[in-house]
C-alpha cells in the first residue's frame, strides 16, 4: 500500500459542499443577520416561492428519493449484486443524487429564513433612506 492511499480515501470521505450551492445557506443567513444582504419584497417573494416549490416537490417525492437510496433489485448473480451495490453507493456518495437532494432539503429552509431577513433589511433601509431624504428636503426648504 502506498502513502497516497490514505490521502485518497480521506479526500473521498471528506465533507463536500452540495453541488450547485455557491453560498451555503448558513453564510447567507449570517450575511442577512448582519444586514449585509437585502432584497425587495417582490424579488424576495419570488425567491422564496421558488425555494418553497423545490421543498414541496422534495417532500412530495420523499418516498421516491428513499427508493433511489436503496439497493436496486437485480439478479443474484455476482455481477448483478456488484452493479446493484455500486448503483446504491453512487446515489448516496458525496456527489450522488440522493445526497444532493437531502442537502437541498436541509439547506433550503435556511435560505428561506435568510431571504425573509433580507426583506426586513430592505424595508429598514428603505425607511431610513426615506427619513434621511425627508430631513434633507426639510433642511433645503428651511434654508431656501
Domain range summary for the chain, segments of one domain joined by +: 42-142
pLDDT at site 70:
86
Which residues of the chain are under the pLDDT cut of 70? 1-22
Distances (CA, A) of 47 to 30, 44, 64, 68, 102: 18, 5, 26, 28, 20
pLDDT at site 21:
55
Contact 83, 74 (CB under 8 A): yes
pLDDT at site 12:
36
pLDDT at site 1:
39
Amino acid at each position: 500500500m502506498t502513502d497516497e492511499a490514505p490521502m485518497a480515501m480521506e479526500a473521498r470521505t471528506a465533507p463536500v459542499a452540495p453541488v450547485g450551492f455557491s453560498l451555503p445557506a448558513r453564510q447567507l443567513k449570517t450575511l442577512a443577520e448582519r444586514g449585509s444582504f437585502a432584497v425587495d419584497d417582490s424579488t424576495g417573494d419570488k425567491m422564496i416561492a421558488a425555494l418553497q416549490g423545490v421543498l414541496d416537490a422534495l417532500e412530495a417525492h420523499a418516498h421516491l428519493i428513499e427508493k433511489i437510496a436503496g439497493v436496486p433489485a437485480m439478479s443474484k448473480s455476482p455481477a448483478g449484486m456488484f452493479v446493484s451495490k455500486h448503483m446504491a453507493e453512487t446515489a448516496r456518495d458525496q456527489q450522488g443524487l440522493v445526497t444532493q437532494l437531502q442537502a437541498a432539503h436541509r439547506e433550503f429552509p435556511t435560505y428561506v429564513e435568510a431571504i425573509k431577513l433580507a426583506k426586513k433589511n430592505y424595508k429598514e433601509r428603505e425607511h431610513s433612506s426615506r427619513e434621511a431624504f425627508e430631513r434633507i428636503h426639510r433642511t433645503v426648504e428651511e434654508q431656501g
